[in-house]
Structure 1
Amino acid sequence: MTDGENRIAELTGWGRYPRRRGAFIRPRNLDDLRAMIGKGGVVARGNGRAYGDSAIGAAATLDMRRLNRMLSFDAQTGCLVAEAGVILGDVIATFLPRGWFPWVTPGTKFVTLGGAIAADIHGKNHHRDGSFGNFVEWIDVMGADGEITRASREENADLFAWSVGGMGLTGVILRACIRLRPVESGWIAQQTVAAPNLAEAMDVFESANDATYSVAWVDCIASGAALGRSLVMTGEHVGAEELPHAYRSHPFRTPRKRNLSVPFNAPTGILNRFSVRAFNAFYWRRAQRASRETLVDWDSYFYPLDAVLGWNRIYGRRGFLQFQCVLPLESSKAGLAALLSETAASGQGSFLTVLKRFGQQNGRFSFPMPGYTLALDFPVSARTFSLLDRLDAITLDHGGRFYLAKDARLTATTLRQADPRADAFCTMRQESDLDQAFASAQSERLLL
């Protein structure tokens, strides 16, 4: 390859921890991919939005962003055929003006389709619609032998089932056919309910089970009677005729935003119990004073953090760790209370604490299951590692499991205690001769 396409680089995930030097390769074509897969220990990487080390190759990392063409679209079915390196935001920019939007989207539009499939991402509508994989019709996967296999629910069904949520460890996803949903505007009707504690927040989720979207911001510093006080936000796509008169002639035209940027690492320690407590108190009071029913443009509703470029730098040079677990429905209330109590007692405080309700999930190795998922972010420090070990133990005690797309520090033992499917996944990789060809820093750490 020419200079700059094959180089040694220090790679991280979005959390900027851990850091690992290794070969970083930008294939120009399928022959380049075959050659690198043949050397072993590779994993595909999209736009680098996995938080930990799941998209860092054990021996080499394959940058898939050159494979970024949209190939065809069927306006009758909403089926888009695209290469794995296509960014979700580009799909929205192209198809929202035509009346189409992704069925499932995470909290950032800067993910690739290949990454979305490999992590089987979820959104604010999992309780109703499930995860991203539910809307994938087929995928083309390059295997350990360099051959390309089309996999779907009907054809090569095992490969499809393991690849959706397989963290890139079943082969390199090259292309996919995904379904988009029809929408009539670029606006969301958002309703915000202030719940004074965890029990009431969960009651709001359960009463809003028919809402298309639901998510909660949680004040992780609050304790006592206010433990888990939350702002629960539901959302619905707005029909063209439901818009204010001034918007009806251009229902997909929304305000153009000026992105902010964090150009440098914030000083170590800027996010501490005092700053997080002050922010949470301010946000709670401000939201209570705001209108409970608002019309929000799609970008602000789904991707508020995308408006701050490089927001991961606010955690400082050492980066941050995200803890995300899901707890079964029957143990969610007790488990969430224990997790939030431990976090509040630690005094460390998560700047971003998000709660969502999950519905049914049938993926072979996908993260969600019926229940509640909690995500918390903490700056990297010795105290954070100690806290997260305690949160791991609480999760295990309540039958929960962990999201590998956000993981940077789980142990193989903890993973298997939480998720017995890991052994079946590992066996499948060995029996299919995938374990030597495809390996990430995460798969090495977790013995997958």
Structure 2
Amino acid sequence: MPHVLALSARDARSLTALSERLADRLAQAPDTDLDDVALTLDTGRERFPCRHAVVGEDLAALVRRLREPLPAAAGAPAPRTDRTSADVVLLLDGSGVDGPPAELPGTTGLPLPSEDIAQHAEDAPAARAVATLYSAGRWLLDRRLTPVAVRGEDRIGALAAAALRGTVSPADALRTAAAGLCAPTAEDPPSPRDAVVVRIGHAAQRGATPESEEALTFDPADGASAARLLARLWCLGLDVDTTLGRPGRRLRLPGHPMWRRTSGEHRTQDTGRPLTPYEQRLLFYDLVRRGTSGDHAVVCARAVAGAVPEQAALATAFAELQRRHPALRTVFGERGGRWRATVLPRPQAGPDLLPADPAGVPERLTQAVRTSAARPFVLRDAPLVHCCVQEGPTHWALALAVYEPLTASVAPEDLTAELLGLLEEMAPSTGAALTRPS
């Protein structure tokens, strides 16, 4: 199985220099253990937005690829440096999977068809295929891939996906496959609109090739495809484990190059933007006069007929709303003695569920969530948005509050309507017409 060396830097210039330094270091010490190099790069380095990864079977191949010109995509920040593995959908395809998985590092305790299944089952090949897909998927999850959803594309893939999700045990999944039965149906959480789809299955089934720029496929029979996949995911900005599960030890490697900036040259690291005069005025006022930030909350509250959505659906929809609108992920913080506005890489705010009001009429529910949402904000390094929900006997109420300086690009009324639309898309049976905006 090949090795993966994953690098990152603030910009293309630094990334090129780092690649050349590492190539020189490996060329000067050809007896260096590549597992040690991979582990040091994975555990001892800060993650930066410009990404590059090389894949090779031996030291000579890796040195040669480190010295090649960077791909064009490596010169710009990775497209998903503001994303996490939660934006990945794992798709299991059982068609064409008919053999045991390739030997992968760190694959201990994975399920195998028992002797009675292998010899006497009605559909033993299906059980072997489920075991193969499950083993490959479990290995990817152990490499720090935490997808938002795991789905199957056919009966075999659905059984392996159910085992990976924990809906059924691996042993039950194998027995179900051997009996020719299907996986139990389960509701999958909705996927982000721009999710990365990683497919586990026979690569030839989809026409994918190792050189395909679009292929995010792990062929269980080809261990090298796992290395290529993790390298691609790293370059997309996902912090996967590029050691491939191999043990190693830390060693001394060349550090990131330091450049002296010339007069007037801007920093390349994204440290946020300066506050606008309006943001400064309100922020400093609220910092000095503690507890007044709630007075500067722009709130929209609405009552909705029907049952309140599930807490998981509320959290997922609110997270998707924050992904769509960077203003909802903007925080104010002090950097080097100066206050700056920074967009968080991922949603952090969650909905607050107030205790249910068994006698709450729509007006009272709306007032309760409005009051709760308008509470003071944590002004330093915390999301400046509140979402509150309360359940009543016939209605439920929702309120969104945004710190006033951030409302230049978003309107709470529009955000509330968009959030309700997301909830209706996710669970049409729980969505009902608005009864009273306030």
Normalization by structure 2: what TM-score? 0.23
Higher helix share: 2
Normalization by structure 1: what TM-score? 0.22
Structure with the bigger RCO (C-alpha within 8 Å, sep 6+) is 1
Higher strand share: 1
